[in-house]
A and B are shown apart, each in its own frame.
Chain A
Amino acid sequence: MSEIRGIYTLWLREVKKFLREKPRLINAICQPLLWLFIFGTGMRFSSGMPGINYQEFIFPGLIVQAMLFTAMFMGVSVIWDREFGFLKEILVSPISRTSVFLGKMLGTSTDVMIQGIIIFPFAYLIGIPVHIFMVLEALPLMILITIGLVCIGLTFASLMKSFEGFGLIQTFINLPMFFLSGALFPLANVPTWLQWASYVNPLTYGVDALRTVMMGDTWVQLFPMSLDIMVLLCFDIIMFVIGKTAFCRVE
């Protein structure tokens, strides 16, 4: 019981902190708009994708991108906690390490979900007919994407000693995972090496699954839905185990 209370406390802290930081929320709303309306409009009218509205095409990709970046950034907040000493207060409490990890993980995941959901209403602006069933189908997929990403963020945070390495995460995790996910361009016509590089990226399956839900018949699925979900599930489980192990080793 005391463990559950501890997890709830840590979850609440993460969410409170996320919602309190106004600049981050403004950013969360505005950045996808830039992608959607400047990048999206530009690409829509210059590169031909017959039969497909490019803005509609990148929309699920942008949700995944926003979640990816938020997950990395919020996960790395563990380093802030360590820098400012608050991590010590948590780690010497009677709450077990596993519960601390769970609290942090669930809290950050909630932040990431909020970030993803913020973008949803923009679908109206580009003419995607959002209805309740689409949202109900998309949300579980987003949760599956979130957990794995958050655990990656927490793993790096546990391994990094200072904030200086964050730039490396940006270059070697965020951008490759984003570019290789099929979020910005379809993977059907690219060279084989790029295709394979994308197929080892779990986000590719997340983007594929979200597109299936949001674009309906205009999207030709890369993989069957069951495979997408299986890959995401494995991604979550593996990253959870790695993240928890790394976090439990933090001194």
Chain B
Amino acid sequence: MKPIIETFNLKKQFGPYTAVNNISLTINKGEVFALLGPNGAGKTTFLSMLCTILRPTSGTALINGFDISRESAQVRRSIGIVFQDPSVDTDMTSRENLQMHANLYSVPVSEQEERIKQVLELVGLSGRADDFMYTYSGGMRRRLEIARGLLHYPRVLFLDEPTIGLDPRSREHIWDYIRNLRKREDMTIILTTHYMEEADRLCDRIAIIDQGTIVALDTPSVLKQEVGGDIITIRSDKSQVLSDLLIQDNIAGHVSYHNDEIKISVQDANFQFPGIVEYAVNAGIRIDHVTITKPDMNDVFIHYTGKELYHGETPERTGRIAMMKRRRAR
């Protein structure tokens, strides 16, 4: 496999705040690669540097063999970008939006019409090409942006939070189009997301990014495996006490306490669960409720960062929990 993107100690600082801290990674040709992390983890900053929108504070990266700092025009020609925020001209029709893009990226005039037809078909918007964009729904605009990002035959397509703010059905559609795209167009796709499901279902490899650094990078299945074969979730009236004891006496696997729940990742719950119950009983703690599940990306994220991807939680709360956990770990 040949690398299409290589980053070398890429770093971005805003004043005293380090948004991206010395990230070095390699992404291979044809991969679908996810950057998974909470809001503010540095995903968009990292992406912006690769797209030559932001200048790195130090370090650099090669995309399609071009240096992002010195050869930005060639880099820009090699990549397609779908931004997190909407970026279509709503006073124009979708065909006009695509024509503008084709002209800005020097798509040969003779191929333009055919190519526009192709990409519109790919995202299922063929019938609406001459409608003004303000008549489009949010999901349709997103699809048009994806079509636009593809128009100039990029080698790499960046999707920054491609399904943010969309309803579940539109999200499923976008996922289908991304999968489709991978089959039909020979390109590498890099997406950022804070939906674990999205990363899990679409991507070959996932980099978990937190506070500007990559805390884990592997295929979804390996990441899940590392977390353990099973997750035992225990609820008790003394959850916190039990979790502290389990960590202290190193009873089983990786223990984390969150939202009044103890999550224990173990190799095989069938064998290890009885021991945990016995330990709790001996400690005089009653277990109210138990579930045993296979790990999902959320568990992976908690495993590596000690906090949950924000799920209806304020960042402050997650931050506080992470702090509590760090304090306990000492």
Contacts and interface: CB of A to CB of B under 8 A. Distances in A.
Nearest to B91: A17
B73 A92 contact: no
Which DSSP category, helix, strand, loop or mixed, fits chain A's interface?
helix
A93 B105 contact: yes
A93 B91 contact: no
Contact of A88 (B77, B83, B92, B148): B83
Given A13-B100, A85-B83, A88-B83, A94 B89 contact: no
Nearest to A95: B104
Nearest to B90: A84
A251 B256 CA distance: 42
A89 B90 contact: no
Contact of A13 (B81, B87, B89): B89
Nearest to B75: A94
Interface in A1-37: 1-2, 5-6, 8-9, 13, 16-17, 20
A94 B106 contact: yes
A86 interface: yes
Interface in B48-95: 51-53, 73, 76-77, 81, 83, 85-92
A244 to B, nearest CB: 19
A94 B88 contact: no
A20 B132 CA distance: 12
A225 interface: no
Contacts of A90: 104
Nearest to A9: B103
Contacts of B101: 89, 93
Interface string B99-127: 11101111000000000000000000000
Could you say which interface size class chain A belongs to? 20 to 34
B87 A85 contact: yes
A8 B102 CA distance: 12
Nearest to A85: B87
Interface in A77-109: 84-86, 88-96
B81 A9 contact: no
Nearest to A81: B89
Contact of B105 (A20, A86, A94): A94
A93 B87 contact: no
A94 B73 contact: yes
A35 B76 CA distance: 50
Given A92-B53, A94-B76, A9 B104 contact: yes
Given A2-B106, A94-B76, A85 B51 contact: no
Contacts of A5: 103-104, 106
Nearest to A17: B91
Interface string B245-265: 000000000000000000000
B87 A20 contact: no
28 contacts: A1-B106, A5-B103, A6-B103, A9-B100, A13-B89, A16-B92, A16-B96, A17-B92, A84-B86, A84-B87, A84-B89, A85-B83, A85-B86, A86-B88, A88-B53, A88-B85, A88-B87, A89-B88, A89-B101, A90-B104, A92-B53, A92-B81, A93-B104, A94-B77, A94-B104, A94-B106, A95-B104, A96-B73
Given A89-B87, A90-B104, 17 more contacts: A1-B106, A6-B103, A6-B104, A9-B104, A17-B92, A20-B91, A84-B87, A84-B89, A85-B86, A86-B88, A86-B89, A92-B52, A92-B76, A93-B104, A94-B76, A94-B105, A96-B73
Interface of B: 51-53, 73, 76-77, 81, 83, 85-92, 96, 99-101, 103-106, 148
Nearest first, the 8 closest Cβ-Cβ pairs linking A and B are A85-B87, A9-B103, A93-B104, A2-B106, A94-B76, A89-B87, A86-B89, A94-B73
